[in-house]
Amino acid sequence: MRTQVGIVGAGPAGLTLAHLLHLRGIESVILEARSREYVEQRVRAGVLEQGTVDLLVGTGLGERLRREGIVHSGIELRFGGEGHRIPMSDLTGGRAITIYGQQEVVKDLIGARLAYDGPLLFDTADVALHDLETERPRITYVHDGRPDELECDVIAGCDGFHGVCRDSIPPGVLELHEREYPFGWLGILATVAPSTDELIYAYHERGFALHSLRSPKLSRLYLQVDPDEPIDDWPDERVWGELHLRFERDGWTLREGPIIEKGITPMRSFVAEPMQHGRLYLAGDAAHIVPPTGAKGLNVAVHDVKVLAEALEEWYRSGSTELLESYSATCLRRVWRVQDFSNYMTTLLHRLEADGFEDRLQRARLAYVCSSEAAARSLAENYVGLENV
């Protein structure tokens, strides 16, 4: 097989890239290791920045997003038993976030891809990249039990943090920046109406908690836990008990419901620089990971592929490699802004150490964000997504 752009991975990055390329008349083939059912059910992100929503709506993917997405114009920071609202839209000239599950974005993108018969191969195995430093890079893989090969002009590595593309770059080329946080998130999905209209980020002496949602009937809640704790140590009653303690506030009640998903995710920051080598371009989690506190992973992945699609369009149209050559530098400006904001939110809201001094510093920072318009505006404009970085 031969195509213009070979895309590895059908997560938000790979699928959005294929969609943007199709709209520009550029062919691509997507190779995905998992089944369609698996990628459409994978529960992860749920907070879309204004810019992500604008891109999806502007490229014809807004129908269900507009109908089912829940627009939020503020968030609550809760600490010391009190809630403080950050009115994000008022502070950012009307920009907002939209709650719409990542799996719904993925379903919409797959639906659009299949509607125009765009090649999308699920359940591909043994994906390997070759000849990246030539003008004819290749991807070999096994599909339906048969070995096959895809010859491309360029390859987009959209295969997430654990994929194969980043590791296909020769040793010594990439500079890796990494930070492990000494805690993880225990996340649950519960079939119960959210107990809040807007997201609640709680700082508590027992640890951080987040009340998010996925729909009017589905609540998504998180607890700061030890990253190595076995999930079996967290039976449902313990999860709810801990959530009640951390969200405690007079006159407010947390509604409980059946837990339909539960898992522990470690917290990590990671950036691989540069995000390109030869004819391979990395995008999304394949190149960078943020701790989820800033709700940025999916959004920055979508931004990467927007930059890549524009660069490829320019290359095919005019033969100019200028935008392709600056792809990594352009993306990394936003990647590092997002890393800084995600680290800020993480260290603002998590219990960092059992140290009274650190605790007082965090409370002082929280009180400042909740009392200074300048500090609140800074949080708000980063949270809804900066237009230009």
Q: Which residue in this structure is represented by tokens 């809760």?
A: 78
CB of 359 to ligand FAD, least distance (A): 26
- Per CB under 6 A, the list member of 5, 21, 29, 31 interacting with ligand FAD is 31
Q: Choose one: 71-79, 270-278, 293-301, 368-376; the region binding ligand FAD (CB under 6 A).
A: 293-301
Interface region with ligand FAD, contact rule CB under 6 A, candidates 155-163, 171-179, 228-236, 270-278: 155-163
Query: Among the residues of the chain, which ranges form H helices?
Result: 12-23, 36-41, 50-58, 63-68, 88-91, 102-115, 236-247, 297-318, 322-325, 327-349, 356-371, 373-384
**Selection from 2, 276, 279, 28 nearest residue 131 by Cα:** 279
Query: Please, are residues 48 and 339 in contact by the beta-carbon 8 Å criterion?
Result: no
* Contact pick of 5, 8, 56, 312 for ligand FAD (by CB under 6 A): 8
Q: Which residue has the tokens 């090969």?
A: 149
Does 383 qualify as catalytic in the annotation? Answer: yes
Which residue from 152, 271, 295, 307 is in contact with ligand FAD, where contact means CB under 6 A? 295
**Cβ at position 131, least distance to ligand FAD in Å:** 18
Measured CA to CA, the distance from residue 224 to residue 292 in angstroms comes to 12
Closer to ligand FAD by CB, 367 or 389: give it. Answer: 389
Rounded to whole angstroms, the Cα distance separating 152 from 1 reads: 9
104 lines the binding site for ligand FAD (CB under 6 A): no
CB-count burial class (<10 Å; 0-12, 13-18, 19+) for 373: exposed
Taking the complex as a whole, the smallest distance from the CB of residue 26 to ligand FAD amounts, in Å, to: 19
Tell the smallest beta-carbon distance from residue 41 to ligand FAD (Å).
11
| Residue 74 within binding range of ligand FAD, rule CB under 6 A | no
Nearer to ligand FAD, 91 or 289 (CB): 289
Instruction: Pick the closer one to ligand FAD by CB: 146 or 374.
Output: 146
Active site residue 201: yes
Q: Min. distance of Cβ 361 from ligand FAD in angstroms?
A: 26
d(CA 274, CA 287): 9
Choice among 296, 303, 306, 350 that is catalytic:
296
Can residue 324 be called a binding residue for ligand FAD (CB under 6 A)? Answer: no
Peptide bond before 137: cis, by omega within 30 degrees of 0?
no
Site for ligand FAD in 232-291 (CB under 6 A): 265, 284-285
Distance set, CA 125 to CA 33, 107, 150, 215 (Å): 6, 22, 13, 34
* Under rule CB under 6 A, residue 32 binds ligand FAD: yes
| 45 touches ligand FAD by CB under 6 A | yes
Q: Which of 207, 181, 247, 243 is nearest to 359 (CA)?
A: 207
From 4, 22, 23, 44, residue interacting with ligand FAD (rule: CB under 6 A): 44
Strands 200-202 and 209-215: antiparallel
From the candidates 201, 203, 281, 327, which is the catalytic residue?
Answer: 201
Task: Tell me, by CB under 6 A, how many residues bind ligand FAD.
Answer: 35
Please indicate whether residue 292 is annotated as part of the active site.
yes
CA distances from 234 to 213, 226, 229, 242, 264 (A): 21, 11, 9, 10, 10
Query: Catalytic pick from 100, 281, 327, 383?
Result: 383
Query: Which residue's CB is nearer to ligand FAD, number 59 or number 367?
Result: 59
Q: Is 101 in the site for ligand FAD (CB under 6 A)?
A: no
CB 137 within 8 A of CB 276: no
Does the protein bind ligand FAD through residue 292 (CB under 6 A)?
yes
In angstroms, the CA 81 to CA 181 distance is 26
Contact between 168 and ligand FAD per CB under 6 A:
no
Q: Scan residues 186-225 and list those touching ligand FAD (CB under 6 A).
A: 187
CA 98 to chain centre: 14
Q: Which residues bind ligand FAD (CB under 6 A)?
A: 8-14, 31-34, 39, 44-47, 102, 124, 127, 158-160, 163-164, 187, 265, 284-285, 292, 295-299, 301
Active site residues: 72, 201, 292, 296, 383
